Structure 1
Amino acid sequence: MGFLKEIKLEVFDNMIRECSRHGYYSDDHLCPACNEEGKFILRSRERDSLARRLALILRHAPEKFDLEMDINGWVDVKDIISRFKKQNERRYHWLRPHHFRAVSETDGKGRYEVRGNMIRATYGHTLEIELDLPTDNIPPSLFYPCNPDEAENLLEVGITPSGRAHVHLSSSIRSAAEAGKVHYKLPTLLEIDTARMEADGETIWHAGVTVYLVESVDSKYITKISNDNPEYEVARARWIDEEE
C-alpha cells in the first residue's frame, strides 16, 4: 500500500501547477515560494509531448505544420493550437495559450520564450533566423564540448556550426560537460576567450539559461581544458554516482 502511495505521489508531483502569487512551477505539489498548493495546469506526459512538437516547429520545420515563422523565429501560439487540433482534436482538445507559457516558464534550460501571443525557441535552430537576443553581460569565458578525436583539429581550424545555424557555447564547465555527455562518454572541453572575441568585434548572443550562441569561433580564441580540471572532475564523479 505504501509503495502504491509513493507511485501516486510521484505522478501527482510530476506536473506543472500555477500559484496565484508566484506563477508556474513544476515537479512539486506545493509552490516552492510560499508552500501553497497550486492549480493544476499540465501533466508531465502532456508537457513532454507538447515540448517535443514545439522543438520540431520552432527549431526545425514550421512548414510541416503549415505554420508561418517570422524572421526572428516567432510563431503565433493560436496558429499552433489550431494546427494541432486540426491534426488530432481528441489528443489536443485541452490545449490553450496559457499552456505554452507554462511550458516556457518551467523549462529549466530556457529553451522557449513567450511574448504576448507569440512563442519561439531561443536556441537549437537548424533554420536560418535573425537573432534579436541579448548581447550584453557576456561572461569572459564560455565552454564547448567536443569529441575527443576532434579536439586537436578544432584547436587548429576553429569551431563552426555542425547541423545547426549557430555554434552553441555553455556558461560553465559543468553545463558544457553535461551537454557533451549526451553525445560522448568523456567529452573534451574547450574554453573560449569570449572577452577577446567581443573586443575584436564578434557578436555573442545569450540564448537559454546557460546557452550562448556565436556564428563561429576562430582558433585563436580556443584553449583545451585538462581532464583533471577540478570542476570537470566533479561532473565526472556525478556521472559515476548516477550509473551506480
Structure 2
Amino acid sequence: MNVIKLSKLVSYILRHKPEDYDITLDAEGWVDLPVLIKHMVEKHPVYTDVNIETFEQIARQSGKQRFEIKHNRIRAYYGHSIKARIERNAVTPPDVLYHGTPKATAELIKAQGMKAMNRQNVHLSTDRQTAEIVAKRWHTEYVILQVDAQRAHAAGVAFYAGNENIWLADHIPPEYIGHSA
C-alpha cells in the first residue's frame, strides 16, 4: 500500500469532497474514523486492509501533517475548500509569518492584502523555508512575503493554528505585509 497516496486521498476527501464519499463533517471538520474508512473502501477497494492504526501511523510519521486524529475521529488540519465554514478558535500567532506567492501577484497582494481565494483561509508559514517549499510546488518564480502577525493580531486580525508550521487567517490587510529579507 502506498501511504503517500492514501494520505493524499484522505486529505482530498476531508478538505474538498466529503460529499462524494457520503461523509458529513461536523462544524470543526471532524468525522468518525470508522465512517471515513467504510466509505473510502467502498470507492477504493484497494484500501480494504486499512484500519484505524494505519491512519494513526500515517499521522505520526507524515512530515506534511495533513490531518489529525483524536478519539477515533479525524480531520484535515487546513486547506479546506468545502462550502461549510470550518469553525476555528482564534489564537495569538508568532511575531512573524511567511507566505510564498508567484512573483507576478506579489505587488497586487501588497496593495490589496492576502485573500483566501479558493480556500477558506490564507495559509502562512512559521518560517521562510516552509513558505519557500510551498511556493516552489506551484511556481518557478516566486516571492516570499513577510507578515507582521503580532501587529495584525493586535489590530484585530484573527489567526488560527493549522499545525506546528502552518497558520491560517481569513484575510491579511496590506499594511501588515512586506517582502521577506
Shorter-chain TM-score bucket reads over 0.9
Q: SS at 2:39's partner residue? A: helix
Q: Indicate conservation of the 8 Å contact 1:62/1:69, yes or no.
A: yes
Quick check: which has more Rg, 1 or 2? Answer: 1
How far residue 121 of structure 1 moved from its aligned partner, in angstroms, is: 0.3
Assess if the C-alpha contact under 8 Å between 2:90 and 2:158 holds in 1: no
Per the alignment, residue 88 of structure 2 pairs with 132
Shift of 1:49: 2.5
Q: CA deviation at 1:129?
A: 2.8
Distance in 1, matches of 2:174 and 2:162, equals 23
Length, aligned pairs only: 180
1:73 aligns with 2:29: yes
1: CA distance, partners of 2:42 / 2:105: 45
The match for 1:108 is: 63
Task: Check the 8 A contact 2:157/2:172 in 1, yes or no.
Answer: no
Matched, 1:57 2:21: no
Compute the TM-score of the two structures, normalised by the length of structure 1. Answer: 0.70
Where does structure 2 lack aligned partners over 5 or more consecutive residues?
Answer: none
| CA shift in 2, pair 1:82/1:190, >3 Å | same
The verdict on how the C-alpha distance between 1:100 and 1:187 changes in structure 2, with shifts beyond 3 A counting, is same
Instruction: Find the residue that maps to 1:114 and give its secondary structure.
Output: strand
Separation in 2 of the partners of 1:168 and 1:190?
12
Picking from 46, 52, 72, the partner of 1:117 is: 72
Show the counterpart of 1:189: 144
Q: Extract structure 1 runs of 4+ deviating beyond 2 A.
A: 84-89, 128-134
After TM superposition, the structure 1 = structure 2 runs for residues 1-244 of structure 1, keeping only pairs within 5 Å, are: 45=2, 47-89=3-45, 91-127=46-82, 128-132=84-88, 135-136=91-92, 138-225=93-180, 229=181
- Distance (Å, rounded) in 2 between the aligned partners of 1:179 and 1:112: 17
Question: Does the 8 Å CA contact 1:134/1:207 hold for their aligned counterparts?
Answer: no
Higher RCO, 1 or 2 (CA under 8 Å, sep at least 6)? 2
Q: Tell me, what secondary structure is at the counterpart of 2:42? A: helix
Q: 1:74 to 1:101 in 2, by over 3 A?
A: same
Structure 1's 154 and 84: CA in aligned 2 closer, same or farther, altered over 3 A? closer
